[in-house]
Amino acid sequence: MAFTYLYQYGDPALGVTRNYISSNIAKGSPWNNVQGYVNERVDELADAAAVAFPAEARQELYTEMQQIIVEEAPLAWLLELEFPTIYRCDVKDLVQTAIGINDAFGNAWLDR
């Protein structure tokens, strides 16, 4: 079980994968494979999917990886965070990256 949360970012290779590949086991550090899960096939699939082309090939690899992870259930999440969406017509350039409102608002401005 883990008292952390899964953050996807814009691509599984940047977000979800890091929670399940054995090369990302670091005891005491959040945002990685905190449960110490090791599955060589998942590692192979993650490596291949990160660079696969076209998108359909990536999807096949990630689908197989997901099926293994679901079957083995290496982790039980103890925390679920809600990420709010901020929207106002007069606020411009508030969200500019895949990180959403967790990114800086340095370019945000009000249209008056």
pLDDT in tens, 42-98: 999 999 999 999 999 999 999 999 999 999 999 887 777 776 677 778 888 888 887
Does some domain include residue 11? no
Residues 31 and 61 in one domain: yes
Does some domain include residue 42? yes
Query: What is the domain count for the chain?
Result: 2
Given phi > 0 = left and psi -120 to 50 = alpha, else beta, which region is 75?
A: beta
- Residue 98: strand, helix, or coil: coil
Residues 89 and 47 in one domain: no
pLDDT at 60: 98
The answer to whether the beta carbons of residues 96 and 90 sit under 8 Å apart is no
DSSP 77: B
Does some domain include residue 9? no
Does some domain include residue 112? yes
Which of 32, 28, 48, 31 is closest to 40 using CA atoms? 48
Does some domain include residue 79? no
Which of 71, 31, 65, 30 is closest to 47 using CA atoms? 65
Residues 22 and 51 in one domain: yes
Single pTM value for the model:
0.71
Residues 49 and 97 in one domain: no
Does some domain include residue 3? no
Does some domain include residue 94? yes
pLDDT in tens, 13-45: 988 899 899 999 988 787 789 889 999 999 999
pLDDT category, 3, cuts 50, 70, 90? low
Domain span holding position 93: 84-112
Residues 68 and 95 in one domain: no
pLDDT at 39: 98
Does some domain include residue 7? no
